[in-house]
A and B are shown apart, each in its own frame.
Chain A
Amino acid sequence: MVDDSIDFDNLHSLIKAGWPKDMVEEHFKDSNKKSALGSAIFIDNISKSFNNTQVLDKISLAINPGEIFGIIGLSGTGKTTLMNLMVGFIEPDAGDVVVRTPSGNNVSVFRFPEIIKAIFGFSTQYPSFYSKLTIKENLAYFGELFGLSPGQIYDRSTELLSLVKLSRFENALAGNLSGGMQKRLDIACALIHKPSILLLDEPTADLDPLLRRQMWKIIRDINKKGTTVIVASHFIDEIEHYCSRIAVLNNKTISFNGSSDDIRRKYTTNFEVQLKTSSGKYKYLLDYLAKHSLVARNKMLEGKLILYTSTPKRLLSDLFKIVAKHRDSIESLDLAKPSLKEAFEELVK
Chain B
Amino acid sequence: MRMNKFIKNTITLVKKNIRLLIRAKASALIVILGPLLIIFLAGLAFDNTNLYAVKVGTFSEKYNELSNSFVDRLVDAQFKVTRFPEEDKCRSAIERGEVHTCVVFSPDFTMAKDNSNELSFYVDYSQINLVWSVLNAMTEEVTEKSMELSRNLTTILVNALEYSSTQVKEKRPSLINLTTSNDLVNRRVTDVSIRLEEVSLDFDPGAFGTSDLSSQKGKVKHWVDASINLGSQAISDAKSFVGNANDVVQASSISGEQKQSLKDLFESAIDELNEMEGKFGDTKSLAESQFNELNSLIDTLVGKITQTKAQMDQIDAAHDTSLAELGDAKTALDGSLKNLLDVQRALNNIDNIIRSIEVKDPEAVVQPIVTNIKPVISEQSYLNYIFPSLIVLIIMFTALLLAPTLILLEKKSPAYFRNFMAPVNGFTYLFATFVTCFLLLILQSVIILAIAAVFFSSQLLAGIHYTIILVFLVIALFSAIGMMVGYIFNSEETSALGAISLGSIFLFLSDVIIPIESMPSWFMAIAELNPFVVCSDLLRSTIIYDLSIFVLWQKLILLVFLVFIAAALACSIYYFSRNKLIYKTFRKKS
Contacts and interface: CB of A to CB of B under 8 A. Distances in A.
Contact of A18 (B5, B415, B590): B5
B513 interface: no
Given A89-B582, A90-B586, A129-B414, A117 B422 contact: yes
Contacts of A18: 1-2, 5
Given A128-B415, A130-B413, A147 B590 contact: no
A132 B15 CA distance: 13
A126 B420 CA distance: 15
B590 A117 contact: no
Interface of B: prevailing SS: helix
Contacts of A345: none
B419 interface: yes
A189 interface: yes
Interface stretch (A58-66, A137-145, A154-162): A137-145
A343 B414 CA distance: 36
B417 A114 contact: no
Given A89-B582, A114-B423, A117-B422, A128 B24 contact: no
B1 A16 contact: yes
B587 to A, nearest CB: 7
A145 B24 CA distance: 22
B12 interface: yes
B96 interface: no
Contacts of A17: 1
A269 interface: no
A127 interface: yes
A329 interface: no
Interface string B402-437: 000000000001111111111111000000000000
Interface stretch (A29-37, A79-87, A215-223, A314-322): A79-87
Contacts of B415: 128-130, 138
B9 A89 contact: no
B423 A147 contact: yes
A110 interface: no
A201 B418 CA distance: 13
B430 to A, nearest CB: 15
B16 interface: yes
A145 B423 contact: yes
Contacts, number: 86
A16 B2 CA distance: 8
Contact of B414 (A84, A131, A137, A145): A131
A137 B19 contact: yes
A142 B418 CA distance: 8
B126 to A, nearest CB: 44
A124 to B, nearest CB: 6
A145 B19 contact: no
Nearest to B6: A18
Interface in B1-57: 1-2, 5, 8-9, 12-13, 15-16, 19-20, 23-24
A125 B414 CA distance: 11
A122 B585 CA distance: 15
A308 interface: no
B589 interface: yes
Contacts of B19: 132-133, 137
A256 interface: no
Contacts of B16: 130, 133, 141
B192 to A, nearest CB: 122
A126 B415 CA distance: 10
B583 interface: yes
A64 to B, nearest CB: 22
A17 B3 CA distance: 11
A89 B416 contact: no
Contacts of B425: 114
Given A114-B423, A145-B424, A90 B582 contact: yes
A248 to B, nearest CB: 19
A117 B586 CA distance: 17
B328 to A, nearest CB: 111
Contacts of A127: 414
A81 B590 contact: yes
A71 to B, nearest CB: 14
A116 to B, nearest CB: 9
Given A117-B422, A145-B12, A128 B414 contact: yes
A117 B423 contact: yes
A133 B421 contact: no
A147 B423 CA distance: 9
A282 interface: no
B89 to A, nearest CB: 59
Contacts of B582: 89-90
A189 B422 contact: no
Give the interface centre of A117, A131, A145, A201 by most chain B CB atoms within 10 Å: A145
Given A18-B1, A50-B587, A145-B423, A129 B20 contact: no
A146 interface: yes
Interface string A135-177: 0011001101111000000000000000000000000010000
A344 interface: no
Interface in A216-270: none
A238 B451 CA distance: 64
A50 B588 CA distance: 13
A144 B9 contact: yes
A142 B413 contact: no
A90 B420 CA distance: 11
Contacts of A120: 421
Given A137-B19, A144-B8, A128 B417 contact: yes
A74 interface: no
Interface string B350-389: 0000000000000000000000000000000000000000
A181 interface: no
A120 B20 CA distance: 26
A133 B20 contact: yes
A203 to B, nearest CB: 14
A81 B588 CA distance: 11
B1 A89 contact: no
A294 interface: no
Contact of A141 (B2, B12, B24): B12
Given A18-B2, A89-B586, A133-B16, A145 B23 contact: no
B450 to A, nearest CB: 29
Interface in B563-590: 582-583, 586-587, 589-590
A129 B23 CA distance: 15
A73 to B, nearest CB: 12
Contacts of B414: 126-129, 131
A211 interface: no
A118 interface: yes
Given A126-B414, A130-B413, A132-B23, A145 B419 contact: yes
A81 B587 CA distance: 9
A132 B422 contact: no
Give the interface centre of A18, A84, A128 by most chain B CB atoms within 10 Å: A128
Nearest to B8: A144
A70 to B, nearest CB: 19
A137 B414 CA distance: 15
B376 to A, nearest CB: 48
Nearest to B11: A144
B478 to A, nearest CB: 25
Nearest to B419: A145
Contacts of B590: 80-81, 84
A142 B422 contact: yes
Contact of A128 (B12, B13, B416): B416
Given A129-B415, A133-B16, A133-B19, 12 more contacts: A50-B587, A81-B586, A89-B420, A117-B421, A117-B423, A122-B421, A129-B414, A131-B414, A141-B15, A141-B16, A145-B419, A147-B5
23 contacts: A18-B1, A50-B587, A84-B589, A89-B417, A89-B582, A90-B582, A90-B586, A114-B425, A117-B423, A122-B417, A124-B589, A127-B414, A128-B416, A130-B16, A130-B415, A131-B414, A132-B24, A138-B415, A141-B16, A145-B13, A145-B424, A147-B5, A147-B423
Instruction: List the 3 closest A-B pairs by CB distance, nearest first.
Output: A18-B2, A145-B422, A132-B23
